[in-house]
Structure 1
Amino acid sequence: MKRIYDMFFRPQEVVELRAIGLNGNSSLWKGFSKGIISGYFNNAEALEKAAGLLDSAGASGVYFTLNPVNPALLARAVNRLIVPKNTTQDSDIACIRWFPLDLDPIRPAGISATDEEAQEAICLGDKISVWLENEFCFTRGIRACSGNGMHLLYRLPDLPNNQETHELIVNVLETIIAKFKNDNVDIDSKVTNPSRIWKYYGTTSRKGDSTSERPHRKSFIYAE
């Protein structure tokens, strides 16, 4: 499978990698962490290695900025991990490249999904993708497992990071939610901000304790 950087970014573009749920000192990062680790990367190999190390260290979640960030932000932590004073803001995004959908089974907070709950999200994702791709001629999107639910990602032409683009994406998402909302799966309405962080595929989603019924699962991109 292609590396995440190669799938989502062009050579030398900058992405923030961010992990939550790691505390204290470590040889992996600079500073004393109170829960958040961050770094900025324009090197695919360094990004992949850092994400793997954070996952192996037991991060609750490892994420990346879905859209490329202002190249100047690389200077905050050049292809390395730190305890951040600042993280990426909406105004730091260079362009809007992706239309994301995050489908998560409805369940009590702070726990992983059961296999049956996760399947509900997959089934809804399949219905939405058929509707978008057949009825509206969306180019086939990326389909992925978030660890608990399903992700759909649709490539856009690189759009300007402005109010017009934001309103367009919000309107499309609201239309999808209105058509497909149900009692079992939440279609996240908060994924439209430009600096949205997204699950780094290949890393583990850790919510609560891992049990036989509600296990921690690795995220992954479905094979075409």
Structure 2
Amino acid sequence: MLHYLTLPVTAFQQNCSLLWCDATGQASVIDPGGDIDQIVHAARQRGLQLAQIWLTHAHIDHAGGAGELAERLQIPIIGPHPGDQFWIDGLPQQSVMFGFPPAQRFTPTRWLHDGDAVQLGHEQLAVRHCPGHTPGHVVFHAPQIERCFVGDVLFAGSIGRTDFPQGNHEQLIESITQRLWPMGDQTVFIPGHGPESSFGRERQSNPYVGGT
């Protein structure tokens, strides 16, 4: 069985997620944007072994702590899609621009592509490439617990920004309607910021994609 804990990190209150497999105690950290000590402490408190870092995309508030955490624990960075290479290369500049602690560039151990899967202990999650907010954005779908970790693609009542370099509004809407909605109305999503919601609720009431 999979379990998760949402840990808001950085001044941007980014929803970093600690996800773990009950049977093995192995955990993955999704989007460690910063506050590394807090993340490590939360895992140790629960007796979990931090085994992997998964990235939805490479904006500073999601990926700023990935290089340091990977180095400290000697664990792999998995994701995002290669389309975000330029954002990874620019992490040091992003940290200065947004007033974050210094962030280091890194090379992911494994890039992700649409249709891939990631393994955590005995559990597997599906990967969907959902560009628009960034060109290399991916999401992690856990149908066995009806959850999806969507980064900044979709929010409760809103959608991701597309005014950053290589953002694309049409692509974002297509990612939501063609790749998220088919996961089912009952699926609850964990966004990069703010509260959880379900795809069904957003399909009905989200002013940007409601009725799609």
Task: Tell me the TM-score normalized by structure 1.
Answer: 0.23
Larger radius of gyration: 1
Give the TM-score normalised by the residue count of structure 2: 0.24
- Between 1 and 2, higher relative CO (CA 8 Å, sep ≥ 6) is seen in 1
